[in-house]
Amino acid sequence: MTATGERFAKINAMPAYQQVAEAIERKIVDGGIRPGEPIGTEAELVRQFGVNRSTVREGIRLLEQGGLIRRSSDRRLFASLPRYQRLASRISRALVLHEVTFRELFEAMMAMETATIEQAVDHATAADIAVLEANLERTVAAEGKPGTLAELDTEFHTLLANASHNRVLQLAREPSGLLIYPTTEIIFEKVRESQPRLVAAHRHLIEAVRGRDKDAARSWMRRHVNDWRKGFERSGKSLDHPIERVYAEHLMVASGERR
Amino acid sequence: MTATGERFAKINAMPAYQQVAEAIERKIVDGGIRPGEPIGTEAELVRQFGVNRSTVREGIRLLEQGGLIRRSSDRRLFASLPRYQRLASRISRALVLHEVTFRELFEAMMAMETATIEQAVDHATAADIAVLEANLERTVAAEGKPGTLAELDTEFHTLLANASHNRVLQLAREPSGLLIYPTTEIIFEKVRESQPRLVAAHRHLIEAVRGRDKDAARSWMRRHVNDWRKGFERSGKSLDHPIERVYAEHLMVASGERR
DNA sequence: ACCAATTTGTCCGTATGTATG
DNA sequence: TCATACATACGGACAAATTGG
């Protein structure tokens, strides 16, 4: 910009608290501090960075929300792996704020859930299947309770994702699962046949996983996801409406992260 | 826990700075403050919450990293929609820290990219296709430059996701796209035939989208993603290795968010 | 069970740089 | 040019909780 040209590189474009945050972040990401290891006290960080304690605290706050550092019960800071639940609810919230439609959600779910069950067919262990069956039993027992059914349905699909043993898929599908959840409760309330169809679908999905039958698995999953769409429309809603803002609020509980 | 049992609810479990953050967060999420609207100056927030300046600042830092609030050039605070790029790079970083393998990445990509192109076949506009073609031209022109080719390949798939007009899919696939990127550069360096195959695949994908030919689209995408896997293995790496930590560092630039 | 040291949460006052009018 | 408003950063202080004898 000056007449002399670019003689010097820019220095220090970031405020101090951001530099503190980035320095700690970098140490964690590149392995200098492993998850579970303590970050150090505020006083130590003050000494190392040579800035004021308020500045250090602001830097810490930046990272705290990202899940890279957490606080134990005694309020000490330590490095941590970002949790899937936390990330997923963030993304769900963002999708709501961006006003995505239920149709987008439906189309994406169809792809990700079928992919998930295909991987589950390949990789599920006996233990995975046992957990799925326990979920199915509770689902059968929850007859007539829409809230419980919705919870168990959401849990079933999360368990299926665990059974896929593919963490990329797990994280990719979870946000959609969280957004679908409130609608399923309404569907179970309003559409009588939805519950027996849910139980049948889950039963066949488990059977397909156990029998390593990928075609049956995919076919039942397609049917199951389509059932959601039909139930959704039959309960009087339109696929082309954006997801209601209200759904974002129940997501904040997860991000509140009580101590 | 006490002998009297749970007679009273917990009070004020959160420190003040967290309460400040949550209050602002809630206002934004439930629509009380719309994206683009100012949050108010720090002095105002001090007055409204009745806490000290430092406390307000810590609360603001918590939200700052989440993308719900941002700062304009004059450093004033305003509400904002969380950006996809930012969320995606967060997730990518988390996946690296969780040490997911390239196989998981590959399997998930296969599902999400095929789903993406199917949606693109249904929903792409003429403008979308024009942008894809411009990308293809630049790809042809970048012959022999692995770094540029890798960038353009990543961009192509992001553009394809845009053409799907499904924001759930866009956000679901982007983290994987970011993680694939560094490997493609290596592949273009080491595997000679990878570049012509890339160009051919992209050309056929665009043709399939233009011709609304879903079968061809899916088939070419499967081939394209499989090409990545073959190139990856031929360049001397194993699918069952976790993604290298190094890849997480180039992701931090995006989260740095210079002003 | 008590004490001393440490650490976090919160508050106060002040100074500096920058952008706006 | 000057005055104002604002974010950034620093210094010091105290209470409450926790830790470690």
Same domain as B214, residue B160: yes
Mention every residue, 6+ apart, whose C-beta is less than 8 A from residue B119: A107, B164, B165, B166, B169
Separation of CA B152 from chain center: 16
| Residue A258 near chain B (CB below 8 Å) | yes
Mention every residue, 6+ apart, whose C-beta is less than 8 A from residue B1: none
User: Containing domain of residue A139, as a range?
Assistant: 85-258
B1 domain-assigned: no
Q: H or E stretch including A69?
A: strand A69-71
Which of these, B104, B252, B170, B116, lies nearest to A175 by C-alpha position? Answer: B170
Domain boundary, last residue among B79, B96, B113: B79
pTM higher than 0.85, yes or no? yes
CA atoms within 13 A on the CB side of A95: 34
Residue B101: what are its φ and ψ, rounded to 5°? -90, 165
Query: CB–CB of B67/B80 below 8 Å?
Result: yes
Same domain as B241, residue B154: yes
| Residue A3 near chain B (CB below 8 Å) | no
A8 domain-assigned: no
Same domain as A167, residue A232: yes
Over its C-alpha atoms, chain A yields an Rg (Å, rounded) of 23
Smallest CA–CA distance from B113 into chain A, residue: A111
Same domain as B73, residue B89: no
Q: What is the pLDDT at residue B5?
A: 41
Q: What is the pLDDT at residue A162?
A: 97
Same domain as A231, residue A152: yes
Residues from chain B that touch A110, judged by Cβ atoms under 8 A, are: 115
B157 domain-assigned: yes
DSSP codes of every residue in chain B: --TT-S-S-----S-HHHHHHHHHHHHHHTTSS-TTSB---HHHHHHHHT--HHHHHHHHHHHHTTTSEEE-TT--EEE-PPPHHHHHHHHHHHHHHTT-BHHHHHHHHHHHHHHHHHHHHHH--HHHHHHHHHHHHHHHHTTT-HHHHHHHHHHHHHHHHHHHT-HHHHHHHHHHHHHHHHHHHHHHHH-TTHHHHHHHHHHHHHHHHHTT-HHHHHHHHHHHHHHHHHHHHHTT--TTSBPPTHHHHHHHHHHH---
Mention every residue, 6+ apart, whose C-beta is less than 8 A from residue B134: none
Same domain as B227, residue B118: yes
Rounded to whole angstroms, the Cα distance separating A24 from A40 reads: 11
Rounded to whole angstroms, the Cα distance separating B32 from B70 reads: 17
Beta bridge partners of B101: B242
B53 touches strand D (CB under 7 A): yes
Per DSSP, the three-state class of A254 is helix
A114 domain-assigned: yes
Same domain as B89, residue B135: yes
Q: What is the pLDDT at residue A12?
A: 53
Q: What is the pLDDT at residue A13?
A: 65
Per DSSP, the three-state class of A77 is strand
Same domain as A127, residue A70: no
What CATH number is attached to the domain comprising A150? Answer: 1.20.120.530
A134 touches strand C (CB under 7 A): no
Domain boundary, last residue among B24, B47, B79: B79
A 52-111: CB within 7 Å of strand D = 52-55, 58, 74-75
Residues from chain A that touch B24, judged by Cβ atoms under 8 A, are: none
Same domain as A117, residue A30: no
Same domain as A74, residue A115: no
Query: CB–CB of B239/B232 below 8 Å?
Result: yes
With CA of B41 and C1' of each nucleotide, the nearest comes out as D6
Over its C-alpha atoms, chain B yields an Rg (Å, rounded) of 23
Q: Are A249 and B25 inside 8 Å of each other by CB? A: no
Q: What is the pLDDT at residue A5?
A: 46
B8 domain-assigned: no
Rounded to whole angstroms, the Cα distance separating B22 from B29 reads: 10
In tens digits, chain B (259 residues) has pLDDT values of: 333 344 444 445 678 898 899 899 989 888 888 888 888 888 889 989 999 999 999 999 999 888 898 887 677 789 999 999 889 999 999 999 999 999 999 999 999 999 999 999 999 999 999 999 999 999 999 988 999 999 999 999 999 999 999 999 999 999 999 999 999 999 999 988 899 999 999 999 999 999 999 999 999 999 999 999 999 999 888 999 999 887 777 776 434 443 3
Place of tokens 């996701």: B161
Selecting from B118, B171, B246 the residue whose C-beta is nearest the C-beta of A95 gives B171
Rounded to whole angstroms, the Cα distance separating A168 from B60 reads: 31
Separation of CA B151 from chain center: 15
- Joined together, the tokens standing for residue B120 give 């693109």
How many domains does the structure of chain A reveal? 2
Domain boundary, last residue among B31, B61, B79: B79
Alpha helices in A82-145 (DSSP H): 84-97, 102-123, 126-141
B154 domain-assigned: yes
Same domain as B137, residue B187: yes
| Residue A222 near chain B (CB below 8 Å) | no
Selecting from A54, A59, A248 the residue whose C-beta is nearest the C-beta of B29 gives A248
Smallest CA–CA distance from B54 into chain A, residue: A54
Residues from chain B that touch A165, judged by Cβ atoms under 8 A, are: 104
The counts of H helices and E strands in chain A are: 11, 2
Separation of CA B69 from chain center: 18
What is the rounded (10 degree) CA torsion for B53, B55, B58, B60?
-70
Beta bridge partners of B4: none
Rounded to whole angstroms, the Cα distance separating B228 from B113 reads: 12
What CATH number is attached to the domain comprising B71? Answer: 1.10.10.10
A150 domain-assigned: yes
Q: Classify residue B149 as exposed, middle or buried by CB count within 10 Å of its CB (0-12, 13-18, 19+).
A: buried
Q: What is the pLDDT at residue A248?
A: 74
Rounded to whole angstroms, the Cα distance separating A240 from B165 reads: 13
Residue B49 amino acid letter? F
In tens digits, chain A (259 residues) has pLDDT values of: 444 444 444 445 678 899 899 999 989 888 888 888 888 888 889 989 999 999 999 999 999 888 899 887 667 788 999 999 889 999 999 999 999 999 999 999 999 999 999 999 999 999 999 999 999 999 999 988 999 999 999 999 999 999 999 999 999 999 999 999 999 999 999 988 899 999 999 999 999 999 999 999 999 999 999 999 999 999 888 999 999 887 777 776 434 443 3
A7 domain-assigned: no
Q: What is the pLDDT at residue A152?
A: 96
Same domain as B231, residue B214: yes
